A and B are shown apart, each in its own frame.
Chain A
Amino acid sequence: MAGSSEHSVDLSHAMITAPVSAADWLVIAPTLVTILGGTLALMARKNTAAQPKIGMIFLSLLVIVNVGLLMRVLDHGVITMVMGNWLPPFGIAFTADALGASLSLIASIVAWCAGLYGLVTVDGTGRRYGFYPFLLLLLTGVSGAFLTGDIFNLYVWFEVLLISSYGLLVLGNDRAQLDGTVKYGILNLIGTNLFLIATGLLYGNFGTLNMADIAMKVAAMDAGGSVGPLATIAGIYLLAFAMKAAAFPVNFWLPASYHTPNIVVSAVFAGLLTKVGVYALIRIFVLILPGARDYMADVISLIAIATMITGGLGALAQAEVRRLLGYLVIVGIGAMLAGIAVGSTQGIAGSIFYAVHSIIVMTALYMAAGIMKLMGGSYQLRQLGALYGLNPYFGGLFLVLAFAVSGLPPFSGFWPKMMLVEASLVDGRGWLAFAILFSGFLSTLAVGRVWIFAFWRGGAEGTPDGATTVRLAPAPEVTSPALWLPLLLLTGLVIYIGLQPDAMVQLVQRGAEGVIDPSAYVRSVFGEH
């Protein structure tokens, strides 16, 4: 601008001067696509016919750019883009590694399925109140959280996804939903504030928010033998993300809220939200603060065991399908925490694999529950029955998902559980391995109960064995392909990953190696030094 020509400034000290290839824009593309789609859908909010079109177009675009991003990451290794051309650590970095990119892709596939499923279950009022804008903006937050390389930026993406999730939770506006949203909102506000406090302390100590930069500085500090306040900071982070991830004992908000909204909203939440918390735990405890993770491994291990066992018992105690599924989400969180407690490459790889599996299978189970409600007219196990006679294929499909969520072969839940059990045993944590197996047993009982009550027996509670008392009158929309296509796609993924786990195992191994040894991550941000 005016005057700048009089004294020369060497911009290369502050700014990136090398040209940036358009392919690097893939790092930012998932957030951009969803923001653009979300704002367009919000502007056309009253046009309920256009809502699903905008939603599905942008969700499809999101899946495409995520596929592109993952392929690019697998070809070229970790890729980074620093906003505004400033040099890191001053510019805000977006860094996609195998972990972030693969979770971002799975999240977008699940969101696409939910968008399609929502065509049937979300009515005109729900569309007018912004189902599709909220869904797209939720995905902005989720993809941003998975791809950002800046810890304060991670906080901002958490806020974005939380605010969208509040909107989705109250969609429909009945008493139970408001009740659930208040509980969910308050606990998440506390968690978010703790996150912010811990980030402030971290910034106060290191003077930087860039994850790669912090990782380097912490490594230098660990090498120097000083611990500093890292244990305190890590403790606050652990509490904050345990709230987000719904780990024991700060998980009461999940069963209190996940059964209240529209079933497709429950499906998305069960799939995505808690896993973002787990992702943040992996990112911060393994990549940035590995010393603090070693120090707290026993605590995390205890939390994991308690989460799995209480989740499993909770699931057994429920007589409402959606609440029961909520507890199964918690069991899965416990299993993912187990991998973080172990901390070996195999443990972290198991956690990531379990997260991918849990995202797919929990969403599919909630979608199946929605179809059960349309067929049998209720979510209460006491009132459900005779669904097998109505549609035996659906019965088989539910059984596949039930096996997968319990970790039985040959479906997707088996492999991550095997990796986790093996990693725990190698690490000498027999009780952790036992808890993983025992919680699998409890989950089997819980979903087996659903299957026997809702599908196998002839009618509602009190029907004698072998008799069929009711003629079900399924709702007419139950034949809609928009309900079945997403469910079939997700179940197909569950079966495929179960039968062909090699590609997935390699991917999660790579993701785990990338966070355990941050050198590639740091190199991607700071270049070759």
Chain B
Amino acid sequence: MRTIIFRTIAPYLTALMILFSIFVLLRGHNEPGGGFIGGLIAASALAIYGIACGVTSVRRAIRVHPMSLAAFGLLIATLAGLPSLFFKQTFMTTQFITLHAFGTEIDLMTPMLFDLGVYFVVVGAISSIALALEERESD
């Protein structure tokens, strides 16, 4: 699979797919999309990069072990449920604030943090499986 065309295109493709995955993640609150599907797109981006340029360069590029990414996701998804403790409400009650910045309204809410957690769990879990499989193939 390591043709010159693929190897040249793959980094750009990966960057685009990751950008697209973040777009899908953020639009997921009111429209189709969300953390799970965004995470899958990001994981396939890493898989493509791995097929083209080798697993070691993917591992170098993401710096941490994919498993740690998954754990990080689970951590922030759990933390997303905690703010309601301070408002005398039950676990996982939605909290939201509206920020005014750059002349526009930005709605921030805890489900988004949860979705971000899901995103990381999916990226981490799927890409650690994918990278392990690709590694085995290149032996």
Contacts and interface: CB of A to CB of B under 8 A. Distances in A.
A430 B72 CA distance: 56
A45 B65 contact: yes
Contacts, number: 65
B71 interface: yes
A3 interface: no
A83 B90 contact: yes
B92 A42 contact: no
A132 to B, nearest CB: 12
Given A22-B85, A25-B85, A40 B93 contact: no
A28 B81 CA distance: 11
Contact of A42 (B67, B88, B94, B96): B67
A84 B107 contact: no
Contacts of B94: 84
B74 A81 contact: no
B78 interface: yes
B93 A39 contact: no
Contacts of B107: 1
B91 to A, nearest CB: 5
Contacts of B74: 35, 38-39, 42
Interface in B64-94: 65, 67-68, 70-72, 74-75, 78, 81-82, 84-85, 88-94
A475 to B, nearest CB: 32
Given A22-B85, A45-B67, A45-B68, A81 B75 contact: no
A39 B72 contact: yes
A82 interface: yes
Contact of B78 (A16, A19, A32): A32
B83 to A, nearest CB: 12
A43 B92 contact: no
A411 to B, nearest CB: 40
Interface string A25-39: 100100010011011
Nearest to A133: B71
A35 B72 CA distance: 11
Contacts of A28: 91
A20 interface: yes
Interface string B91-109: 1111010000000000100
Nearest to B76: A39
A30 to B, nearest CB: 12
A524 interface: no
B75 A83 contact: no
B90 A39 contact: no
Nearest to A92: B92
Contacts of A38: 71, 74
B93 A85 contact: yes
Contact of A83 (B78, B92, B96): B92
A21 interface: yes
Contacts of B90: 16, 20, 24, 81-85, 91
B75 A84 contact: no
Contacts of B75: 35-36, 39-40, 43
Given A45-B65, A84-B94, A39 B88 contact: no
Contacts of A43: 68, 71-72, 75
B89 A19 contact: yes
Contact of A36 (B78, B85, B91, B93): B78
A65 to B, nearest CB: 14
A25 B93 CA distance: 13
Nearest to B91: A28
Nearest to B121: A39
Nearest to B30: A1
A20 B78 contact: no
Nearest to B111: A84
A318 B78 CA distance: 45
Given A19-B89, A24-B90, 4 more contacts: A1-B96, A1-B107, A16-B90, A46-B65
16 contacts: A19-B89, A21-B88, A35-B74, A36-B78, A38-B71, A39-B72, A39-B74, A39-B78, A40-B71, A42-B71, A42-B74, A43-B68, A43-B71, A45-B67, A82-B90, A84-B94
The 4 A-B pairs with the shortest beta carbon distances in the complex, nearest first, are A42-B71, A19-B88, A39-B75, A85-B93
Interface of A: 1, 16, 19-22, 24-25, 28, 32, 35-36, 38-40, 42-43, 45-46, 81-85, 91, 133
Interface of B: 65, 67-68, 70-72, 74-75, 78, 81-82, 84-85, 88-94, 96, 107
